[in-house]
C-alpha cells in the first residue's frame, strides 16, 4: 500500500465536516496537509468551523498543516490555492476535492444558485485538477480523490442541482483516470451513501433523528484507505457502504446503528416517488468549506 508519510496533500472544504476529518486523518499518517476553504478565523462563515481551527488541531496532535484561504467559486482562486500549496510546501502528491454546497430546490431553484452549486461542486474540482496535474507529474505521480454523494445516483427531492453536480463529478473521475494512468496518477471517487453528521448536513436537516448517523471520522477513514492503495487502483467510484462491507473498514460509531440495506451503485432508472423534501436552507445552502 501507498505510504502517505512525507507526502503533501491538499484538501478542499477542510474547515469543517468530512474535509476537516480527512485533513486530520492524513496528517495523522504523516502527510503535510494544506487545508483550503473560505472560512478562516478572520472571516468565519455562518456554519461553524474554520481552516485555522483545523490546522490548530493538526498542530496540537504533532502534525504539520497549512491554512490556504480560497473561494472555490472563483477559478482564479482555485488555481492560486494549488500554487500556494506548492509554493509553501514544495510539492503536491494528493488532491482531495471535498468542498461542496447545496441549495434546497429543484426546477424552481434560481439560476444564480444553480450556477453557484455547479461552480463549487464541479467546476472547482476540474480547475483544481488542471492546476494540480503538472505538479503531480513533477513528483512522478500522485492521487486525486473526489468526494461524491448518493444524491448523484438518486433523484433526492430538493437536491436536483446538487445531484447533477455530483454525477458530473463521478464522470470527471473516470474520465481523468483514463487520461492520467500513463502519468502514474490515480483518480478515484468516494461516494457518501451513509448519513454522516457533517455540520452542513446537520444544518440543512433540522429536527431529524441523527442517532444512526456516522461521525465524519468514519468517512475520513474510508477516504484515507483509498489514498493508500496502489496506483493501479484508479477509476473507482466507491460506495461508502459497499467499501465498508467489502474491506471491513469504517466500523460504525453511530449511537444507534441501523441496517442501511444494499448499497446503491447505479444511476436510478424509472419514475421515483414524488415526496416532500426533508432538507431546509437555514444558511443559504452553505454545506461545505
Would you name the residues annotated as active-site residues?
162
Torsion angles phi and psi, residue 176, rounded to 5: -65, -35
Q: Which residues contact 229 (CB under 8 A, 6 or more apart)?
A: 1, 2, 186
How far, rounded to the nearest angstrom, does the alpha carbon of residue 47 sit from its chain's CA centroid?
17
Closest by CA position to 22, among listed 241, 192, 163, 140: 192
Q: Which residues contact 143 (CB under 8 A, 6 or more apart)?
A: 2, 93, 94, 95, 185, 186, 187, 188, 227, 231
* Residues forming beta bridges with residue 143, ordered by sequence position: 94, 186
Torsion angles phi and psi, residue 218, rounded to 5: -70, -45
Alpha helices (runs of H) in 105-159, residue ranges in sequence order: 111-118, 124-138
Provide the 10 A C-beta neighbour count for residue 267: 12
Residue carrying the nine cell digits 496533500: 9
Q: Are 226 and 238 in contact (CB under 8 A)?
A: yes
Closest by CA position to 72, among listed 27, 25, 11, 22: 11
Torsion angles phi and psi, residue 97, rounded to 5: -90, 95
| Cell numbers given for 231 | 496506483
The whole-angstrom separation of Cα 132 and Cα 45 is 27
Amino acid at each position: 500500500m501507498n505510504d502517505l508519510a512525507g507526502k503533501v496533500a491538499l484538501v478542499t472544504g477542510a474547515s469543517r465536516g468530512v474535509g476537516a476529518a480527512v485533513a486530520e486523518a492524513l496528517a495523522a499518517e504523516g502527510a503535510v496537509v494544506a487545508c483550503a476553504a473560505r472560512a478562516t478565523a478572520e472571516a468565519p462563515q455562518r456554519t461553524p468551523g474554520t481552516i485555522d481551527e483545523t490546522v490548530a488541531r493538526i498542530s496540537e496532535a504533532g502534525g504539520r498543516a497549512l491554512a490556504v484561504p480560497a473561494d472555490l467559486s472563483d477559478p482564479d482562486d482555485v488555481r492560486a490555492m494549488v500554487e500556494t500549496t506548492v509554493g509553501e510546501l514544495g510539492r503536491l502528491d494528493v488532491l482531495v476535492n471535498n468542498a461542496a454546497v447545496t441549495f434546497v430546490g429543484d426546477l424552481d431553484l434560481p439560476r444564480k444558485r444553480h450556477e453557484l452549486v455547479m461552480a463549487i461542486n464541479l467546476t472547482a474540482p476540474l480547475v483544481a485538477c488542471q492546476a494540480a496535474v503538472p505538479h503531480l507529474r513533477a513528483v512522478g505521480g500522485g492521487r486525486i480523490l473526489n468526494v461524491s454523494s448518493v444524491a448523484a445516483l438518486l433523484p433526492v427531492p430538493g437536491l436536483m442541482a446538487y445531484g447533477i453536480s455530483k454525477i458530473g463529478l463521478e464522470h470527471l473521475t473516470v474520465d481523468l483516470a483514463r487520461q492520467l494512468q500513463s502519468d502514474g496518477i490515480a483518480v478515484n471517487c468516494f461516494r457518501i451513501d451513509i448519513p454522516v453528521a457533517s455540520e452542513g448536513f446537520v444544518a440543512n436537516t433540522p429536527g431529524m433523528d441523527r442517532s444512526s448517523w456516522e461521525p465524519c471520522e468514519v468517512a475520513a477513514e474510508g477516504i484515507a484507505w483509498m489514498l493508500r492503495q496502489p496506483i493501479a487502483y484508479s477509476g473507482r467510484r466507491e460506495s461508502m457502504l459497499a467499501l465498508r462491507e467489502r474491506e471491513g473498514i469504517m466500523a460504525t460509531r453511530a449511537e444507534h446503528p441501523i441496517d442501511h440495506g444494499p448499497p446503491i451503485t447505479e444511476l436510478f432508472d424509472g419514475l421515483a416517488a414524488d415526496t416532500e423534501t426533508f432538507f431546509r436552507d437555514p444558511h443559504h445552502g452553505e454545506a461545505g468549506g
